[in-house]
């Protein structure tokens, strides 16, 4: 069965520092991977996706993600964090016309 795991419930970083939110996947075949962000009292917003091609995917709000097939990982990254990046982040894998979401990682960026 397809699945993703987000090993960290929360990530804390200082504003201006680089951030990484981790995601590992387990799929049969080629993975289609997604990152979403959820702000308080809002729905999930699409950040970026990996379907094929370049292993470094660029997305919205300066975020990028690196697909690593050998480590079965798809970590979300940003070179310089902003306080406004504080939110809940979900990794997801596509499976049979639906998305399987991870448990989410809360990112807290302190001023």
Partner 1 sequence: DAGVIQSPRHEVTEMGQEVTLRCKPISGHDYLFWYRQTMMRGLELLIYFNNNVPIDDSGMPEDRFSAKMPNASFSTLKIQPSEPRDSAVYFCASSFSGLLMMGNQPQHFGDGTRLSIL
Torsion, Cα of 16, 78, 89, 7 (10° steps): -100
- Please list every residue from 25 through 64 that binds partner 1, using CB under 8 A: 32, 34, 36, 41-46, 49, 51
| 8 touches 73 (CB < 8 A) | no
Helix (H, G, I), strand (E, B) or coil at 104: coil
> Closest distance between partner 1 and the C-beta of residue 86, in Å?
18
Between 81 and 100, name the residue whose CB sits nearer to partner 1: 100
Does the footprint of partner 1 cover residue 94 (CB under 8 A)?
A: yes
> Closest distance between partner 1 and the C-beta of residue 103, in Å?
5
Between 11 and 104, name the residue whose CB sits nearer to partner 1: 104
Distance CA 100, CA 32 (A): 11
Distance CA 86, CA 13 (A): 10
| 87 touches 39 (CB < 8 A) | yes
Q: How many residues bind partner 1 (CB under 8 A)?
A: 20
Does the footprint of partner 1 cover residue 11 (CB under 8 A)?
A: no
Binding residues vs partner 1 (CB under 8 A): 32, 34, 36, 41-46, 49, 51, 90, 94, 96-99, 101, 103-104
């Amino acid at each position: 069965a397809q699945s993703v795991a987000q090993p960290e419930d929360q990530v804390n970083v200082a504003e201006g520092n680089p951030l990484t939110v981790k995601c590992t996947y387990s799929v049969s075949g080629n993975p289609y991977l997604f990152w979403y962000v959820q702000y308080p009292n809002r729905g999930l917003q699409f950040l970026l996706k990996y379907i094929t091609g370049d292993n470094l995917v660029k997305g919205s709000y300066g975020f990028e993600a690196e697909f690593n097939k050998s480590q079965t990982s798809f970590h979300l990254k940003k070179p310089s964090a902003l306080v406004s990046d504080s939110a809940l982040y979900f990794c997801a894998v596509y499976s049979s016309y639906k998305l399987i979401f991870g448990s989410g990682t809360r990112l807290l960026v302190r001023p």
